[in-house]
Amino acid sequence: MKEETNMNIHELYKSKLLSCGELAAKVESGWAIIMDAAISEADGLTAALCARAAEGELQGVKVHTMLDVYPYPFYESNGLDGRINGVSWFSSGGARKAINAGYADFIPNYYRDIPGLIRANYRFDAFFASVAPMDENGKFSLSTVGSYSRAAMEKADRIFLEVNEEQPYVPGGIMIDIKDVDFVCENTHALPVLPPSKLDATSIKIGELIAERIPDGACIQLGIGAIPDAVGNALKVKRDLGIHTEMFTDSMVELINCGAVNNSKKQLHPGKTVTTFAYGSQRIYDLLNGNQDILIMDVDYVNDPNVICRNKNMVSINSCIEVDFWGQVCSESVGTRHMSGSGGQVDYVRGAIQSEGGMSFIAFESTAKGGTISKIKPCLAPGAVVTTSKNDVDCIVTEFGIAKLRGRSLAERTKALIAIAHPDFRDELSFEAKKRGIML
């Protein structure tokens, strides 16, 4: 066989090309594997790995994931427990279920810290990723994801790539050189999409309340879900908005297409949309393909509050499970039941409040479970996880209004929160506040 150094990139590619099954056969018992968020997951390779484990060929493999978007057997049921277990750095559908059922593990973190945590604490046997086809320079675009991939590759002994021709080629994102890759497999299929969120009267109302506070020229971060999408919808009438966000979402495509976003007023990366990963509809993937105006960068840069705050009028909008009278925000659990990681919520709350003219909104429908539970509570449920602390929280929003908490006393916070709680719960909340001696 020709020496690697003498091969052209196409020969090199061919020399490293295996089927997904052949590549999965390289994995050994006891390996720790890491993938990054959403559609950068190497689903074909991972499916082949799970098939080997199901045959009893593997023991003690750990697969680290972030936002899992494929139905992996090791998250779907405990059938592979001990053979392959998932370890999630955030979690979503599959991982959420597995963590609560005791056959997957979870690593608490601020998203911005993951690259540093990996560099300081971890060594992986392999990094798996789905990428766009190799370009004429021998580079694979890591497509929709910056996130922690660079750190994961630095700390992985091997890089196994899965080429999917449907992956967008993102010139402003991470590129991986064929020389740095150990093996490649090919698996082309349509990319997974997030079902569009259903905007009901409540989310539309909340979206309008927040949009009223956002000036033209602001720089925005929107989280995942119906309420951030409703805010995006209500922002279509604005001008000169900028985007600096963790996740690039569908509503942002609409804001760019309708001209509300042009990034012209940004102090940092003017003219460019900045994100650390994108996930949503095919419209996102089409917009990203070949687009020089969207930068997909490492999360330790994008989500650093000291970077976020460099844009003036930075506005962040996220959601949560419940809030107590202090303004402590639980976004990760229902009592002890795990729902998700912190993601970038705190990164953006801090970045926005440090930005000149910046604001952070935690927005949610005032009740859960068909109106039977108030999401504003005297105390968080026992076992609930505090995501955003009372010292960081800024504005809380429900369909009944906006409570500004930052800089306010406990009594002022409690009053402001009761005023935006669902009317059915206000008397009970006032009673509880008085019982606790809060000066209403």
Nearer residue to ligand COA within complex by CB, 65 or 331: 331
Contact flag: residue 422 with ligand COA (CB under 6 A) = no
Region from 3-11, 119-127, 341-349, 422-430 binding ligand COA, contact rule CB under 6 A: 341-349
Place of tokens 């002022």: 412
Query: Shortest gap between Cβ of 277 and ligand COA (angstroms)?
Result: 9
Query: Shortest gap between Cβ of 321 and ligand COA (angstroms)?
Result: 4
Q: How many CA atoms are closer than 13 Å to the CA of 385, on its beta-carbon side?
A: 15
Contact flag: residue 114 with ligand COA (CB under 6 A) = no
**Is there a contact between 139 and 178 (Cβ–Cβ < 8 Å)?**
yes
**Is there a contact between 278 and 252 (Cβ–Cβ < 8 Å)?**
no
d(CA 133, CA 167): 8
Query: Shortest gap between Cβ of 29 and ligand COA (angstroms)?
Result: 33
Contact flag: residue 398 with ligand COA (CB under 6 A) = no
Contact flag: residue 350 with ligand COA (CB under 6 A) = no
d(CA 120, CA 375): 38
Q: Are strands 32-34 and 61-65 parallel, antiparallel or unpaired?
A: parallel
Contact flag: residue 345 with ligand COA (CB under 6 A) = yes
d(CA 377, CA 327): 10
**Is there a contact between 428 and 436 (Cβ–Cβ < 8 Å)?**
no
Other CB atoms within a 10 A radius of the CB of residue 373 amount to: 15
> Which residue in the set 7, 17, 204, 334 belongs to the binding site for ligand COA (CB under 6 A)?
334
Per the DSSP assignment, residues forming a β-bridge with 397 are 363, 402
Question: Any catalytic annotation for residue 246?
Answer: yes
> Which residue in the set 49, 66, 156, 224 belongs to the binding site for ligand COA (CB under 6 A)?
224
Contact flag: residue 194 with ligand COA (CB under 6 A) = no
Q: Are strands 104-106 and 84-88 parallel, antiparallel or unpaired?
A: parallel
**Is there a contact between 115 and 55 (Cβ–Cβ < 8 Å)?**
no
Of 38, 46, 76, 79, give the one whose Cα is nearest residue 63.
Answer: 46
The helix/strand/coil state of 104 is: strand
Question: Residues near 269 by Cβ (< 8 Å), separated by ≥ 6?
Answer: 244, 263, 295
Region from 167-175, 212-220, 305-313, 342-350 binding ligand COA, contact rule CB under 6 A: 342-350
Stretch 298-327 residues interacting with ligand COA (CB under 6 A): 318-322
Query: Shortest gap between Cβ of 372 and ligand COA (angstroms)?
Result: 9
Query: Shortest gap between Cβ of 367 and ligand COA (angstroms)?
Result: 8
Contact flag: residue 47 with ligand COA (CB under 6 A) = no
Q: Contact letters (x/-) for ligand COA, 354-383, by CB under 6 A?
A: --------------xx---x-x--------
Q: Are strands 337-338 and 333-334 parallel, antiparallel or unpaired?
A: antiparallel
Contact flag: residue 65 with ligand COA (CB under 6 A) = no
Q: Which residue is nearest to ligand COA (CB)?
A: 343
d(CA 329, CA 209): 20
Query: Shortest gap between Cβ of 379 and ligand COA (angstroms)?
Result: 12
Q: Which of 41, 162, 246, 332 is catalytic?
A: 246
d(CA 14, CA 126): 20
Query: Shortest gap between Cβ of 369 and ligand COA (angstroms)?
Result: 5
Instruction: Provide the residue type at 324 as one letter.
Output: D
Region from 56-64, 174-182, 343-351, 409-417 binding ligand COA, contact rule CB under 6 A: 343-351
Query: Shortest gap between Cβ of 203 and ligand COA (angstroms)?
Result: 11
Per the DSSP assignment, residues forming a β-bridge with 376 are 323
Contact flag: residue 417 with ligand COA (CB under 6 A) = no
d(CA 226, CA 23): 39
Contact flag: residue 276 with ligand COA (CB under 6 A) = no
Nearer residue to ligand COA within complex by CB, 130 or 319: 319
The residues that touch ligand COA, with contacts defined as CB under 6 A, are: 223-225, 246-247, 318-322, 331, 334, 339-340, 342-345, 368-369, 373, 375
> What amino acid positions are annotated as catalytic residues?
246
